[in-house]
């Protein structure tokens, strides 16, 4: 078993799916989101069988990011009950899995800046005169 997971979700339009996908990747919650559209969904909602054209989001991330990603997905989503199904990745291409891990890791400089947000700004180092 790897530290990577795939999260499946759907959106009601390509625009909504693209907006959600962009936010998840920009925030480093996901390394990649594939949009598959259109898909035909048949489901029961409020006692009736419904049919809808939707966009499938295939989201790749790390297992330790799944809960935060799911919470963010729900906050960005227009559905009352957004789909978020987390599936483990048993194995895969080692270079791809390393890339996925790297792209969902906050860079050190950003981490330092966030952790020292309450600290006063530091002065830049002085240059020596030549």
| Domain CATH code at residue 57 | 3.30.70.120
Establish if 117 belongs to a structural domain: no
On the question of a cis peptide bond just before residue 38, with omega within 30 degrees of 0, the verdict is yes
The 10 Å CB-count burial string (b at 16+, else e) for 41-64 is eeeeeeeeeeeeebbbbbbbbbee
Domain assignment present for 121 = no
Please report the pLDDT score of residue 109 as a whole number.
Answer: 60
| pLDDT average, residue stretch 106-117 | 58
Residue 119 lies in a domain: no
pLDDT tens for each residue of 40-85: 999 999 999 999 999 999 999 999 999 999 999 999 999 999 999 9
Q: pLDDT category, 122, cuts 50, 70, 90?
A: very low
| Residues linked to residue 35 through DSSP beta bridges, in sequence order | 57
Strands 32-45 and 48-62: antiparallel
Which helix (H) or strand (E) element contains residue 113? helix 108-115
Per-residue pLDDT tens digits for 90-111: 999 999 999 999 999 988 765 5
């Amino acid at each position: 078993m790897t530290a990577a997971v795939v999260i499946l979700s759907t959106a009601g339009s390509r625009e909504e799916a693209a907006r959600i996908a962009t936010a998840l990747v920009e925030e480093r919650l996901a390394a990649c989101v594939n949009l598959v559209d259109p898909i035909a969904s048949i489901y029961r909602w409020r006692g009736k069988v419904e049919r809808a054209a939707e966009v499938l989001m295939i989201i790749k991330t790390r297992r330790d990011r799944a809960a935060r990603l799911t919470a963010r997905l729900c906050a960005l989503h227009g559905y009352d009950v957004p789909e978020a199904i987390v599936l483990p990745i048993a194995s895969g291409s080692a270079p791809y899995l390393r890339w996925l891990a790297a792209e969902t890791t906050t860079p050190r400089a950003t981490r330092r800046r966030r952790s020292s947000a309450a600290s006063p700004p530091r002065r830049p180092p002085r240059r020596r005169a030549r």
